[in-house]
Amino acid sequence: MSDTELLPAIPAATLVIFRDRAGAPAELLMVERAKAMAFAAGALVFPGGRIDPGDHALAAILAPDKDGDDVAARIAAIRETIEETGVPVGLVPLPAPDILTQLRAALHAGTAFGEALHDAGCTLDLSQLVAFARWRPNHAHMRIFDTRFYLARLPEGAPEPQVDDTENVRVLWASARQVLDDADAGRARIIFPTRRNLDRLAQFDDFAAARTDAARYPIETVTPWTEVREGVTHLCIPDDLGYPVTSEPVDGAMRG
């Protein structure tokens, strides 16, 4: 692996929400990025986004004795998912539809998450999120995110997701395998980190199985590197972190 100095990265968090199904693999919540976006334009991704200073401020209040970066990332994953899809993971109690609508509108208007939660009569249960992975690419000439991935089960009684029509233009439920198949058939676009995580998630039928697998591996930052294999340049990741596919020819990889 190259020892190239790491380029600056934007801290981010993303949430993989499982909707378990009897007799069929779980569906995952995906959003389609607007084609005008600078990063992952037109691609299917998990809901999420930047970790803001306000997320760190709220983390210091809610869990001052815990890893502040992890707590802030969990808060950001929950907040961004509400903003992008209207799905309230990690909120206690689950807000009524009208309260959730008000909460989402407040976030879109720039209200601090802590204030919006207070007005909605909700608190956060960050234990509903399971740490799964952390990815930090290091490719030049494009935006770089240091992204923490979390898993969560769709809360019982949660509303159907609704697109925000700003950064994202579509929301959908699909199994990991279906998204991969759609990408292979040219019906969808997915960036390299999303593809590798979908490969891993496609191994599990439900949230419980994915949670068990997540506990088997340490959360180590994945920084892909290029390597020539049999005359072809591949984009590679470590082979000891639970990923069933650990390389792909660079020419076929969407990197951002």
pLDDT tens digits, 109-156: 999 999 999 999 999 999 999 999 999 999 877 789 999 999 999 999
Phi, psi of 236 (to 5 degrees): -125, 155
pLDDT exceeds cutoff 50 at 217: yes
pLDDT exceeds cutoff 50 at 242: yes
Query: What confidence tens digit (pLDDT) does each residue in 199-212 have?
Result: 999 999 999 999 99
Q: Can you give the pTM of this predicted structure?
A: 0.94
Confidence of residue 3 (pLDDT cuts 50, 70, 90): very low
Q: Rounded to whole angstroms, how far apart are CA atoms 197 and 199?
A: 5
> How many CB atoms are closer than 10 A to CB 247?
19
**Mean residue pLDDT across the chain:** 93
Domains of the chain from N-terminus onward: 10-219 (3.90.79.10)
For residue 50, the cross-strand partners are 12
Q: Which of 37-46, 66-75, 202-211 has the lowest mean pLDDT?
A: 37-46
